[in-house]
Structures are given as C-alpha cells and as structure tokens.
Structure 1
C-alpha cells in the first residue's frame, strides 16, 4: 500500500461522509426541528 492509496481512501471517505451529512441535513424528517431551531434567536420569552 502506497501513501497515495491512503490519500485516495481518505479523500473518498471524506466525500462519502460529506454527502451523508448533507443528506441528513436536507432530509424532510428533520425540517420541522431545524425550522424550530432557526427561530430560537427571535423568540421573546
């Protein structure tokens, strides 16, 4: 295993992780929770 192979593996794993986080953040089931969190600074309790 060459150092370049390790670099390719780390790059691919990082990309897959990024896509996973992106898909989680934009999923419909999280929308309501994120909308509520976005309004927290504007609430006057």
Structure 2
C-alpha cells in the first residue's frame, strides 16, 4: 500500500463522515433539541 492509496482512503472516509454528520444535523428527530438550543441565549431568568 503506497501513500496515494492511503490518501484516497482518508479522503473517502472524510467524505463519508461529512455526509453522516450532515444527515444527522438535518434529521427531523433532532429538530426540537436544536431549536431549544438555538433559543437558549434569548431566555431570561
């Protein structure tokens, strides 16, 4: 295995991780918790 194969594997793994994080962030199940977190700075005690 040479360095170019290792670079290709790292690029593909990074792309898969990016797509997985993107899908997790835009999933409907997380919407409520993200909305609550987005409004935290505006809550007053």
**Structure 1 runs not aligned, ≥5 long:** none
Give the root-mean-square deviation of aligned CA atoms. 0.3
Unpaired runs of 5+ in structure 2? none
| Alignment partner, residue 16 of structure 1 | 16
Q: Deviations over 1:4-33 (max 9, x none)?
A: 000000000000000000000000000000
TM-score (norm 1): 0.98
Aligned pairs, number: 45
